[in-house]
Structure 1
Amino acid sequence: MDNLFVRINTIFEWIMKFAGTNLLWVLFNFPIVYLTMSLLFVENTSQAMMIMITIAVLAPFIFFPATIAMFGVVRKWVMKDDVSLMRFYWKYYKENYKASMIGGLIISLLWVIIGFDYYYFQTSIPLVSYIFILLLICLFVFTVYFCANTVHTEAKLKQSMRNAFVLAIVNPIFSFGIAIINIAILYISIQYLTFLLPFFSGSLIAFISFLGYYKVFNQVVALQEPETIN
């Protein structure tokens, strides 16, 4: 009976961790959350494009710092460290703001370019658009690995982006699997279980992504010993 209560308590602790972190992430992303919700009520394509462009402009300054801070908290869980949510979230937010902003500018530009190409070819040459779907999946993996590497290593921005690229391609099947799982979580959250969006979706995706990154990172480090990639 005692073991049962311990397990139930552990489950509730993890639920609170995910929910608290996700709510904090949503709060720091409020302008982008508001604009994203506005997409549900647009009346034409031009309005949707204007909102998406605004989101892309704001992402480096809001989304990436908030997301990398969330990855910092999630990393502590994986490392089995006890953390004060508010204190460590704010700590990672401040410490990594510049790197996350500059990295976010580069990555956001890539998302805009590939996303625009996908939209263009989807309407003109649908078969070619599948290539850009694959590129978007690869970019998703690169993005989450960049967020994870930023908080896990002390590498400079250029090296951190290089690490993220190397780790994304060193085990492509595993990385592709991580992307598909995360996309499935996002799809289910949007289409069927919308209550997950404010409470669990972001933190769950960050947790799964960091676990995947950490596994690949350790594999590469083991192969390169005594030389490391950070």
Structure 2
Amino acid sequence: MNPGGAIYTTLEWITRFAYINLLWILFTLTGGILFGFFPATIAMFALVRQWLLGKSSLPVMATFWSYYKKEFWKSNLLGLFVCFIVGLIYIDIQYIQMTDLEWTYIPLFAFMLLFVFYLFYLFPVFVHFDLKVPGLLRNAFLIMLVNPVSTFFMVICLVCTFFVMRYIPALFFIFGGSIYAFITMWMSMHAFRRIAGKSQ
């Protein structure tokens, strides 16, 4: 391979990841954060999925905006569910602190860990399958349960990425969202293919 071509391709992909991360931040702010976060996140995952499918020539801004508009209400409906669970966790933590029922931290933390793993698959399932919100909530949970290996490698990759960004904080603001989307979408698509292969 031509070294110059390899360098150009690498710089091109670095620029793409930085650009989509910037769009994610800007469109989150455009929606007033509360209503913009989930549509922007779905748009980012949808575009990353297209890249993983080999469609890297798609116009980034136009494609991002198209997904943002298309999935605005559905993604915010998903957001209501996520915020509801996060709210319950917060209330439980506050209740435990007030009542000194420290032993209940163990099942709560186990639930929190399970919920984090669940979130790894929630956005990839949203953009990969044409499902209504109840169906994608159910399928994301089932896919998580039957793919512990994929979940394990997601955790390893994300932890390694976290430590790199911890030492170079600027990377978090430039690539934080897009790298997370790439890792979880990539591993999720491997899980989807395995499930499809088994079903056949």
Q: Given the two structures, how large is their TM-score scaled by the length of structure 1?
A: 0.76
> What does 1:28-43 correspond to in 2, within 5 Å?
28-30=27-29
C-alpha separation in 2, matches of 1:138 and 1:176: 12
Aligned-residue sequence identity (percent) comes to 32
Task: Point out the more displaced range, 124-133 or 68-77.
Answer: 124-133
Aligned to 1:17: 16
Aligned to 1:68: 42
Task: Point out the more displaced range, 193-202 or 84-93.
Answer: 193-202
Q: Deviations over 1:161-220 (max 9, x none)?
A: 11111111111243143135325534653x432101221011000000001111111111
Give 1:62 deviation, angstroms. Answer: 1.9
Q: Given the two structures, how large is their TM-score scaled by the length of structure 2?
A: 0.87
Aligned to 2:178: 203
Judged with a 3 Å threshold, the aligned counterparts in structure 2 of structure 1 residues 213 and 119 are, in CA distance, closer, same or farther, namely farther
Judged with a 3 Å threshold, the aligned counterparts in structure 2 of structure 1 residues 8 and 126 are, in CA distance, closer, same or farther, namely farther
Give SS of 1:29's match.
Answer: helix
Unpaired segments ≥5 residues, structure 2: none
Judged with a 3 Å threshold, the aligned counterparts in structure 2 of structure 1 residues 31 and 127 are, in CA distance, closer, same or farther, namely farther
Q: Deviations over 1:93-147 (max 9, x none)?
A: 1111121111110111112212443455478355542433332232223223121
C-alpha separation in 2, matches of 1:141 and 1:222: 23
Match of 1:160 among 129, 133, 136: 136
C-alpha separation in 2, matches of 1:118 and 1:174: 29
Say whether the 8 Å CA contact 2:17–2:175 is kept in structure 1: yes
Give SS of 1:80's match.
Answer: coil
Judged with a 3 Å threshold, the aligned counterparts in structure 2 of structure 1 residues 186 and 104 are, in CA distance, closer, same or farther, namely farther
Unpaired segments ≥5 residues, structure 1: 34-54, 226-230
Amino acid at match of 2:52: V
C-alpha separation in 2, matches of 1:12 and 1:146: 30
Aligned to 1:88: 63
Match of 2:151 among 175, 199, 205: 175
Q: CA RMSD in A?
A: 2.4
Aligned to 1:216: 191
> What does 1:186-201 correspond to in 2, within 5 Å?
186=162, 188-189=164-165, 191-201=166-176
Aligned to 1:5: 4
Q: Deviations over 1:1-24 (max 9, x none)?
A: x61111111110110111000011
